[in-house]
A and B are shown apart, each in its own frame.
Chain A
């Protein structure tokens, strides 16, 4: 599961670095933006049946691969 979510994240960010560095700042580094986040939510729902609402999480709660994994883990 962890690997699959990271794979999805790498695909959305178009950067394999997100699989290595769990503390990588996703929004400030420009790897992720509102659009990427929307695409990520759609894939989470379609691939893993995990529904997260776009207004539910603050940017500060999802700005690193580690935090995203924690959120997905909590929702399984």
Chain B
């Protein structure tokens, strides 16, 4: 069995959610139930793959050791930057091994969901250091990490937000309202993924082997549509399922194709990822470099920050030329947008005009589509 794939998964999903809806209607707290069914899904999915199961358990043990060990150290010693950095690096080790060892034909820590689990572990560690999280609970942290709707590919939730939902009790009216919105998202997600993404995939197939430039263009657009409907569809199903379990996972997409500039695009595309990077990489890089006075101006700081942020995001997708180029490409676009919007008198004069916004939208979409083309690996394949 796999998450969101095949009949057995979906049959069990429907059963699990029906029971949740009955429990919610009876005003029973759903947190424990969600925890137990998440463990059952994990057992069914990893049970048949001993190697994955081994790495999953190792990852879980390692992460819990770091979280609880660091929570103790933090409350005893206070904010010590050296210890904090060491702990974050240790927490990143499994992910680094998972991404790098395939280059040497090994597959250490290669289990489904590790990339997304790692974000959530790091978030807890950083917020412990910041003093935003004061104490951690064993059951709640485990429930947060194993929560099945978002286990394999997000959306990336935050532990404090999850914890508040996990331990709350909803009134019948509030639950039925949430459950209704959850059902709608679940069904819409299924249509996105199984109808629209599948159609876009067919179109890609027709143009995949093309040799003429306009065939690549059609391929790039079809790939963009596929990427959106596939991932937004999955995300909607994950969010919908979690609503029915009483947990309001954050949304991942918000009409990305109406964006009028690249910055707006990243506020609408894979939102839980880009906001995670904003809060834990970009903002922190900008703050750190401002305190250390590495750069002479705000603009320089921002531009380097965008490159670092998107470069790491690219690498996180996988250690390959296409992904790294994709990250740097978006870093360059964000930095360019920042300079242009801060410096250009043309922009300041016309930004409110309808024609300017229409043109800006059109240019943004072409840049986005070219980015997807890079991401698909097709461009590197064609050139290389």
A positions within 8 Å CB-CB of B: 33-35, 37-39, 41-42, 45-46, 53-56
**Which A residues are in CB contact (< 8 Å) with B305?**
35
Given contacts A35-B298, A35-B302, contact A54 B290 (CB under 8 A): no
Shortest distance between the CB of B91 and any CB in chain A (Å)? 16
Given contacts A35-B338, A42-B287, contact A55 B298 (CB under 8 A): no
Given contacts A33-B263, A53-B127, contact A38 B283 (CB under 8 A): yes
Q: Is the interface of B mostly helix, strand, loop or mixed?
A: helix
In the bound complex, CA of A25 to CA of B280 (Å)? 24
Query: Is B47's CB within 8 Å of the partner chain A?
Result: no
8 contacts between A and B (CB under 8 A): A34-B282, A34-B283, A38-B286, A39-B286, A42-B286, A42-B291, A54-B280, A54-B287
Query: Is B212's CB within 8 Å of the partner chain A?
Result: no
CB of A54 within 8 A of CB of B298, answer no
CB of A55 within 8 A of CB of B282, answer no
Residue of B nearest to A12 (CB): B298
CB of A39 within 8 A of CB of B280, answer no
CB of A53 within 8 A of CB of B280, answer no
**Which A residues are in CB contact (< 8 Å) with B51?**
none
With an 8 Å Cβ cutoff, the count of chain B residues facing the other chain is 22
CB of B287 within 8 A of CB of A38, answer yes
**Which A residues are in CB contact (< 8 Å) with B127?**
53, 55-56
Given contacts A33-B263, A42-B290, contact A54 B284 (CB under 8 A): yes
Given contacts A38-B282, A38-B286, contact A53 B130 (CB under 8 A): yes
Shortest distance between the CB of A18 and any CB in chain B (Å)? 17
Q: Tell me which of A33, A35, A37, A41 has the highest count of chain B C-beta atoms within 10 A of its own C-beta.
A: A35
In the bound complex, CA of A58 to CA of B195 (Å)? 35
Query: Is B218's CB within 8 Å of the partner chain A?
Result: no
CB of A53 within 8 A of CB of B131, answer yes
Within 8 A of A (CB), among B257-308: 263, 278-280, 282-284, 286-287, 290-291, 298, 302, 305
